[in-house]
Structure 1
Amino acid sequence: MDRGGCQMSGGGGGGGGGNGMITLEDLESFAEDQLSDSGNGSLEEEGETMEADDTSNRMLHYWQEVARGHQVEVSQDMAEPIQQLSSNNQGRSQREHVPFTLLMRKEKCGEVLFEKRHYEKGHWACITMREDTYEQSICYGFMKIMRYICQQNSISDYLGMTLPILTVVRTDENHSVLSRDVTVAYYLPLEHQDQPPQPYDNEIILEVWPATTVFTRAFTGPTNEVTIINQISAMAELLDSPGVCVNDSFIVAGYTNPAHNNRQNEIWFLERR
């Protein structure tokens, strides 16, 4: 797992004011809470059903509005992937979680300080971005992954959503500065692990990540350059022997919409092989 890492929910905080990153849960919330209204009244009251292209355009405009807070442009050709991702993932039960085995949990006064987990070998779709900010890299990387998930692949079919979305971040030896290279990674659903569909986008690389042991610590709130550095430092202090872990590459795992007040993330340290 030396490179790769993918985060659906990788932003917030940083120069974006109160806006959060564009995510699947943003879309679901939008679909449930806002698409029920059309103009001055509900569609139900008007006795009509919103046309699919109108729904798609409204979702696209919503993404565009959220993304502007992070100086990210969402192009018109994202309308169809956004619509597909939303319509195929209504509710968390539709999302497959990356399987792992819990090896150890360290607690203090009933609080989980960190966990040690084992992840088996698996196929991941990865893309490395180098934008001006971490948030921009996450946004543009995830949009490319979205296109792959939503039919821009060799089987021309929707592949299914998995969690967490990971991002691999790299630091200097003092853990004080993040590299501009950020790798976004998406775990292929189990039904596609044996024969992963090929991406149309040649920037997306299908990689087999070897079986890996990680130390993980949960945290809530935004994931930006400052919070990631802080979380790396906090995790290093908790580990009895931080030297057993890779020292310059870390993973941020995102589980929930970062616009949410209580967003759920993890920082992962990789055990040296």
Structure 2
Amino acid sequence: MTADYLAINRASWDERAPAHAASPDYQVSQLLADPTRLSEVVRFDLPRLGDLTGVRGVHLQCHIGTDTLSLARLGARMTGVDLSGASLVEARRIAEAAGTPVEYVESDVYRAAEVLGAGGFDLVFTGIGALCWLPGVDRWAGVVADLLRPGGRLFLREGHPALWAIDETRPDGLLVLDLPYFETAEPLVWNENGTYVSTDANFTHNVTHSWNHGLGEIFTALTAAGLRVTMLIEHDSVPWNALPGRMTKGDDGEWRLTERPARLPLSYTLQAVKVS
């Protein structure tokens, strides 16, 4: 495993955070204009999240905090954790402008329990596009277990590993599993000068390292860490245009394959409870 993946990825996120906060895709202005508004990611899973009133929650890999803010608006006492200091500058600014108290802490995921303390949280939340930045889910699952009190739960919505394994750049438009589905020792190394939101910004830190993690690997890691998976739902949609030219946006804000959407799982929602 490349030892400097944290520094490489942090540089990319630090540079892109202001552009993400300014992009219409994150809908920050709408969140600030309407104190009842929730991010699309949180709103999608609202029926599954349940009552969060008074819940002490931590959002791992929170980025600019739009999901964190949304969970706080549902009544949770939220802490957001991210490795990018520049992302947390934006997250704090957004929370302050919204008048919503959220604590933000700079740390990589694997040090979160050490930094925040063990056993103090009712909820660990992780959103779309987070796990791919971690080289191993076994260690991540251990951190989740350490953060949770007994009976506390992990709530995770992620891009499906089958989606992450597809080569989206193929000129023929075929859906081909060409990238690793399973976790690998070495990262996928990308050199891309853009980002996943609409922006006119230009970037210089364009190399990132990422990993895929199979659904079975995630399930097994959580079970081995002492959590019991109580919900696993695969979805035919994602909240962004993951396969340009082959997707259509629905009235719910989610993107699905235009042709035969039932043929590919695009995301999933997982919940797991700490047994003891």
Task: Give the TM-score range, shorter chain.
Answer: under 0.3
Q: Normalising by the residue count of structure 2, what TM-score does the alignment of the two structures yield?
A: 0.25
User: Larger strand proportion, structure 1 or 2?
Assistant: 1
Q: Normalising by the residue count of structure 1, what TM-score does the alignment of the two structures yield?
A: 0.25
User: Larger helix proportion, structure 1 or 2?
Assistant: 2
Higher relative contact order (CA 8 A, sep 6+): 1
